[in-house]
Amino acid sequence: MSEPLRIALAGLGTVGTGVIRLIETNAQLIARRARRPIVITAVSARDRTKDRGVDLSGYAWHDDLTAMAALDNVDVVVELVGGSDGPALTLARNTIAAGKALVTANKAMIAHHGLELASAAEAAGTPLKFEAAVAGGIPVIKGLSEGAAANSFERVYGILNGTCNYILSTMEDTGADFADVLSDAQRLGYAEADPTFDIEGIDAAHKLAILAAISFGAKLDFAGVDATGISRIIAADIAQARALGYVIRLLGVAETDTSNGALSLFQRVRPHLVPIDHPLAHVDGPTNAIVAEGNFMGRLLFQGAGAGDGPTASAVVADIIDIARGERGAAFSMPVAELEPMGRAETGHRPVRAYIRFTVKDRPGVLAEITAAMRDAGLSMESLIQQGRADEGGEVIIAMVTHEGPELAVTQALDLLKGSDNLTAPPLWMGIIGD
């Protein structure tokens, strides 16, 4: 058997300690599959004294994680610190500059700096791998870039954030409102103390940008992702969706667009109504699921645990095994110079069926004002539900579903209602995905 592959591990949180446990528990199996032993030689974290539930005595400790890239007894650096910049980015740059392989679970860093790091890795002739950065333990990056590499992808979309999916599916099951379920999610460890990145769609946007680049051979464009989170969804939205035959899921959707004569890229994270018979409607709890549609393979569904120590550690170690085998494919499935710069798709012409929820004062003329705005915008109504809120001082919720029409008509109708004295809160609209 060949010489061991030597690992430096930066970050000893949930995933970092999971990597240690996995490598120690499955050492013999991993060595057989990697065709060489994989050993950890160096570790680093902020607090040397913290009890992490694993024995670190056999590993050299380094207080300066950014210097681990220069160690002579390290072949691969695993970055599990997190953050788009700061020490994580410095370590990544140092690792590649030293000609060593980099494995990371850091979707924010890849979304913001992935092209830079991939270009540097290509120049240095060293691997950059980040399977764990998207959907935890689900091998979606490998599946798209290798298993389905012969396909031209038409669309990739799915549930990319387990925290939001847990909140929405729990709201369905319990009838509770958003704030109460979020509080429970934080108590159970499914949501961070500051959940902003999750609930406002930013985490999902990081992952979607990476998936879009790999799926479509496009230059990474995180800034081009239109992200809207779930913080404005209320229990009434969940109930109305159910009455109409749908569930609500936060979806990231990416697809190419040629409607303006040039190839452009549509990327959006937003809550959607999903038909109850669609595969994504049955993805509950902190689970991720990604649908990829290829021109020859049809629809593929990747589903599994999107976070957690075991699943994410599994993806990290799978990348390490690839490196041990000498597999050095391009980080984004093709060289950075061959990734196509795509403009950002215009959205006004996109056909959409929309769910729109208004919270209004309970008085005559309100519905007439709303329907007049829809008429003037050329938006046709398919169904309407009106529900009073006795606990909210006579407010009324009006929820409607539109016939399919251009997205511009939805935004124009809502623009016509801006500043209306009848509305007690800004309207909320969500797209309805097809079967």
Same domain for 226 and 290: yes
Grade residue 393 by pLDDT with cuts at 50, 70 and 90: low
Could you tell me the CATH number of the domain that includes residue 399?
A: 3.30.70.260
Helix, strand, coil proportions of the chain in percent (round to 5)?
A: 40, 25, 35
Q: What percent of the chain has pLDDT over 90?
A: 84
Same domain for 150 and 23: no
For the beta carbon of residue 243, count every other beta carbon within 10 angstroms.
Answer: 11
Q: Following DSSP, what letter does each residue of 315-359 receive, concatenated? A: HHHHHHHHHHTT----TTSS-GGGSBP-EEPP-TT-EE-EEEEEE
Residue-wise pLDDT for 411-431, tens only, equals 999 999 999 999 999 999 999
pLDDT for position 188: 82
Task: Give the integer Cα–Cα distance in Å for 170 and 54.
Answer: 33
pTM value? 0.94
Same domain for 355 and 279: no
Asked if residue 89 lies in contact with residue 58, where contact means CB atoms within 8 angstroms, the answer is: no
First to last CA, the chain: 51
Among 265-279, 382-396, 400-414, the least confident range: 382-396
Mean pLDDT of 167-191: 92
Among 22-31, 43-52, 78-87, 332-341, the least confident range: 43-52
Same domain for 129 and 158: no
Residue 315: what residue type? A
Task: Give the integer Cα–Cα distance in Å for 342 and 122.
Answer: 22
Asked if residue 299 lies in contact with residue 8, where contact means CB atoms within 8 angstroms, the answer is: no
Same domain for 265 and 190: yes
Mean pLDDT of the chain: 93
Mean pLDDT of 282-296: 93
Same domain for 301 and 156: yes
pLDDT for position 435: 59
Last residue of a domain, one of 84, 115, 133: 133
Could you tell me the CATH number of the domain that includes residue 71?
A: 3.40.50.720
pLDDT for position 198: 95
**Domain count for the chain:** 3
Same domain for 366 and 298: no
| Distant-in-sequence, close-in-space partners of 423: CB < 8 Å, separation ≥ 6 | 358, 359, 360, 417
Asked if residue 179 lies in contact with residue 213, where contact means CB atoms within 8 angstroms, the answer is: no
Domain that residue 259 falls in: 140-305
Residue-wise pLDDT for 46-96, tens only, equals 888 898 889 898 899 999 999 999 999 999 999 999 999 999 999 999 999
pLDDT at 265 over 70: yes
Same domain for 275 and 156: yes
Q: C-alpha distances in angstroms, 236 versus 240, 350, 356, 396, 403?
A: 6, 27, 12, 11, 21
pLDDT for position 329: 87
Q: Could you give the residue numbers annotated as active site?
A: 207
